[in-house]
Structures are given as structure tokens and as C-alpha cells.
Structure 1
Amino acid sequence: MTDDERNQHRQSNEQSEVFGPIDAGALREIRDLFVEQEPLVHTASLDDPLNPQTLSIELSDGVGAASTAQIDVRWSLTGNYAAHYSDDRDRNFRFDCHPKPDAPRQHFHPPPDAPSRPVEPSCITVSAVSLVTRAILQRWRYAYTHDTFEELNDAENPP
């Protein structure tokens, strides 16, 4: 193993320790809410049915010129989460809630590339699984309906 590989492995382990173990029940609840609430969900699947780490939601359309999109969700037993939108135009954004140095616990990685830094305070201030899921859906639907990522993180008190 090279020094770079060792550093990446160490950083990955540190991030998973901070994030916490994955809550499979929450991922299933989020999957069900997406399927029930969003007509553009093409598929919503867990990466491993017995020990899921990520829920991947494939959408049959994307924001603006994008023709497909995906939202990957992780949720921990400690209430940390990450919801990462990406599309076939290589645009990304993330709504996250986890400890991050020099950033609020609930933060937003803006489009088009969802950089690690700088981040903004998230407009999603709720913490219950169902409310966070509905807020993410509401913000995705806002971007989709308006064909823009502008004001994506400008909502007040979603959902």
C-alpha cells in the first residue's frame, strides 16, 4: 500500500467514525418516502439489502438540461446524514448534517460541484428523518420546477 493509499484509508476511517454507523431503518424510510412523494423516481435501491451503507435514488430527469439525475443518501444512527445530488451534466450539490471543522453541523455544499470548502449553513434545520427527507424533496422539486440551482438553499423552515 502506498503512502497516498494509507492516507486515503485513514481519512476514510476517520470520516466514518465521525459520521457514525449507518441506520438501515432510516434508509428504508427515506426510500419509501421518495418513492411515495416523487413521481420522477425511477429506482430507489440500497447498495446491500442486509447491511446497507447508501441509498441510491435514480431520477428519470434532472434539473435544466440534465436528462438523468441521482440522489445518494447516507443516514447514521447518530442522526448525521448526507444527501448528494448529481446529474449527467456533472453538476452536484449536497445537504449534509455532520461535524465538520469550521462549518455548521447542518451545511450545504453548493452547485455546480459541491466543494468540500467553502460550505454554507443549510436551510434544512429539522432533524427527524421524515422531515429532512421531505425538505430535500422540496428543495430538489424547487430546482427541477424552476430549471435552476439558484436559491436552492434559500428556503425558510422547510419542508
Structure 2
Amino acid sequence: MMQITDSHNQKHSLFNAMNRFIAAVNNMDQIVMVPSLLRDVPLEDAKNEVRSSVMASSTTAADSYYSGRDMYGYYVLLKSIRNDIEWGVLQGEDRKKEKLSPVVDITRREDGDGDEDLEKQFHYHLSGLHTVLAKLTRKANILTNRYKQELGFGSWGI
């Protein structure tokens, strides 16, 4: 049996990035006992809002979509993504109907060319996935820490 270790060379592996994200969401899930307390609470605190307003010029459409979310919205989003990673994207008939059509359309466009460089596509998507997982892991950690601050337990060492 092959043993997998988290050495310096493997810290950028997709497997480890997914494990870090799942661990952050699991920690968040254990700390957040009453998710409804997260409603209408912004994810960023007042100190970070100043920094966010300075960085606003470099926001993308996705950033502006998520900027309107409260902590509860992020909580639900992060748990949903964790479930998709652990159990697969397509779960149940409803999710198949919602998600299958766009996937089929993208596959048809990519398969139609035939001259696509699969290695280049793979590295492009792998790099994007690493970036997204790092951002989501950061959001899960921020949410966990903000929840503890809101409850007055900011010094918890959990």
C-alpha cells in the first residue's frame, strides 16, 4: 500500500488543496452551532471593508456576485461545495437536470474542435481549481473566526 505524505513537494497537489478546504469547512461546521445567527452579518469586518474598497477596482463579476452575501450565504455555499467534492457533483434527479445541460454544451464545444491541447486545458483548469479552493478555504476560515468574534469567543484556540 502506498503511503501519502504531505511533504514540501506535495503541498501544491490538488488532493491536499481539497483536503485543506474540506478540513476548513468541517472545522467551520463544528464551530458554527447556530447557523441562523449568521444571517445579515457581513463576512468582512469593518477593518477589512476599507481594504476591500481599495481593492474594488480589481474585482471580477464573480467577486461582485459574492460580495453581497452574508455569512449565512457563505456558510451554505461552502457546505454545498464540500458536499459536491465529497459525494460528486450530480446528486439526485433534480441536480442532474440543473447541471447536466451546461456540462453537455461545454463538452460538445470542446469535443467538436478535436485539435484542442488537452494537457494545456488540464493545467489551465487545475490552476483555476487550486486558486478557487484556496479562496474558498480562506473564506471558511474567515467565517469561522468571525462567528467566534460575534459570540465573543475570539480567543478560542480551536
Q: Normalized against structure 1, the TM-score is what?
A: 0.27
Higher strand residue share: 1
Q: Which one scores higher on RCO, CA 8 angstroms, separation ≥ 6? A: 2
Higher helix residue share: 2
